[in-house]
Amino acid sequence: MGWPRGLYSAALYALAPLIWRRIRREHALTYPRRTRRELRLGEIPRTPAGEPMLWLHCASVGEVLAARPLIEALLERYPGYRLTLTTMTATGAERAQALAAVRGDDRLVHRFIPLDFPAAAARFVERLRPELALFFETELWPNLLAACRRQGVPVTVVNGRLSPRAFRGYRRLRPLMGEALACVDWLAAKSSDDAQRFGELGMAEARMTVVGSLKFDIAIDDKAFEVSEGLRTRLGERPVWVAGSTHEGEEALLLSAHARLRERCPDALLVLVPRHPQRFDAVAALCAQAGMPAARRSRDEWPTADTAVYLGDTMGELLALYGAGDLAFVGGSLVPVGGHNLLEPAALGVPVLTGPELANFAEVAETLREADALVEVADAEALAAALAALFADPAERRRLGEAGRAVVAANRGALERTLEGLARLLPPK
């Protein structure tokens, strides 16, 4: 073990009490204490001999959703393999388990990724015995990568991205990141800028390929369309805008914008979808405090003609809810989070609005901007004005929706290029 990884591991051990406290909070209602320890220490069932296994790691909900086309393609192209999908968060686990249930395919299983302690990482890889390890986007865990290298498991990073902010943080740890990236056999970068940042951290140029963003290969299943159509029919002709993946501090701004909008469009409805399920109750309370009590989808409550807000407090329905709107605002962009996936509403042909905080989706935003398929606002007041103008202009809404859908269609292909690269590392079975 090199000195950077040695120092990193020592720091992890020092922080172990705080890490375990957070895990207890996250899993207390779902898993008993002993199971929680097993989940995070790599104590998983051993993969039987002769049962080929792939391993894909996604951090949380957003990454699982973005990786769905890749997951389905891997299961289709490699029918002799099982696929273990790991996540860091409980909400990511719920989405992964829901995906497995929808597919009805026992070849797709979920596990929690172990904490990156050296022994836990080694135990997990030794028991899982994958033929190939795929890490999605920016998930670089030094001890897990090293365990794969020691045990002869090829490692790839797919849809590799490094935002400028993440790069600045990783650059302070360049020796550690260089050691970790030396374990990566192939990195499929989302853009040339991302490839350059990985290169500056120590990733060899010869082992990188710019393939584009898998997010453009977004998969929308028939069920999502059916739910969208049913919602839109029940909502009728009233103006509907959807605010998806919203964060703390952002909902208050959106409710303020909605109140201003309703001064001009009294029957306008906001479908509000917070990013994190643990905040559903707090957001419902915030709506009530703003004088706009929300009908809650999780309780089968339905917005009446007087209801101003419909709270999408369920998991896995964001695409369907976007599809029911006339306009879509993508959250995490009026607060310094960095934005979320602008392509989800665009793929549905729903006009996309965003705030100024777009660090996580800068390239996607620029692509939409170049096609004049993105409405950007600086604050809640500007958002209210933009919403009112678009509700008054059906032709512009149609143009924006068609332009966004065309951008998604024109930029597909990263999935096929990623699969071609993986095929060079993965023996057929």
Active-site positions read: 63
Longest dimension (CA), the chain: 66
Q: How far is CA 315 from the centre of its chain?
A: 13
- CA quadruple 137, 142, 144, 146: dihedral positive or negative? positive
* Closest by CA position to 263, among listed 237, 292, 294: 292
| Residue partners of 227: CB distance under 8 A and separation at least 6 | 317, 320, 323, 324
| Three-class SS state of 337 | coil
**Euclidean distance between CA atoms 140 and 178, whole angstroms:** 11
Task: Take residue 163 and report the two structure tokens written for it.
Answer: 């935002």
What is the enclosing helix (H) or strand (E) of 133? strand 132-136
Pairing of strands 352-354, 240-246: unpaired
Q: Report the alpha-carbon angle 230-231-233, nearest 5.
A: 65
Burial class (CB in 10 A: 0-12, 13-18, 19+), 303: buried
> How many CA atoms does the CB half-sphere of 91 hold within 13 Å?
15
